[in-house]
Amino acid sequence: MDASVALLQQTSKLVKLFKSDQPIKSVEDPLIKGAKEALKFFEEWESSVYRLKLDHSAMLSRECREDLASTVLGFEQLVYNRTTKFPGSYVIPYLTNSDICENIFCQIRSCRLGPTTHPNVFGYTHALTAVLLSQGLISTHGNASNNSKAASPLCMHTNSALNPYKSKKITL
């Protein structure tokens, strides 16, 4: 029972951060510290499963653990980059999403790679170049799209195509 309560307490810290509409102005923000504590909890859980030689079904999947780590550390880095490059700026957690990354990977896959799950560097770089030179990079359906005024600090817009042979408006 205690382990279940601890799990709920730690996941609540993550939910509290990413559902927050309060501006995060520093990586020292209590919400980021709470998310890092939650990440540490999951890392300790993993090491205890290995240390006690428990069945691996007693912990989160590897993919889920990687997603948790990349989400927390990536968000912390986003706040750090934003606040150091643009002093006085902030990040509102609930407005951030991974639509841009998902769009890039989907476009790369559809552009050149097809069903290949492990592309080589040569194929990947050609597909990435094609996507960057000819296609928009932000989902128009997410909360970081052109239509969201609140997400405008997270978007960069250009009225000219990066590829002169394409005439459509590019959104980066």
The residues spanned by each domain of the chain are 2-94, 99-171
Higher confidence at residue 154 or residue 86? 86
Residue found under tokens 């209590």: 30
**Amino acid letter for position 10:** Q
Single-letter residue type at 160? S
Q: Evaluate the CA torsion angle 142, 147, 148, 154 in order and state its sign.
A: positive
Of 70 and 164, the one with more pLDDT: 70
**pLDDT of 134:** 64
Pair type for strands 157-158 and 170-171: antiparallel
> Which structure tokens are listed for 120?
């080589």
DSSP secondary structure letter of residue 94 = G
State the burial class of residue 5 (Cβ atoms within 10 Å of its Cβ: 0-12, 13-18, 19+): exposed
Nearest residue to 78 (alpha-carbon basis) of 98, 61, 62? 98
Chain segment 21-73, per-residue pLDDT in tens: 999 999 999 999 999 999 999 988 888 887 877 777 777 888 888 888 888 99
Cβ atoms of 68 and 15 within 8 Å: the answer is: no
Question: Mean pLDDT across the chain, nearest whole number?
Answer: 76
Enter the DSSP assignment of 23: P
Q: Between 62-85 and 30-51, two packed helices, what is the crossing angle to 10 degrees? A: 150
CA distance 139 to 104: 10
CA 118 to chain centre: 21
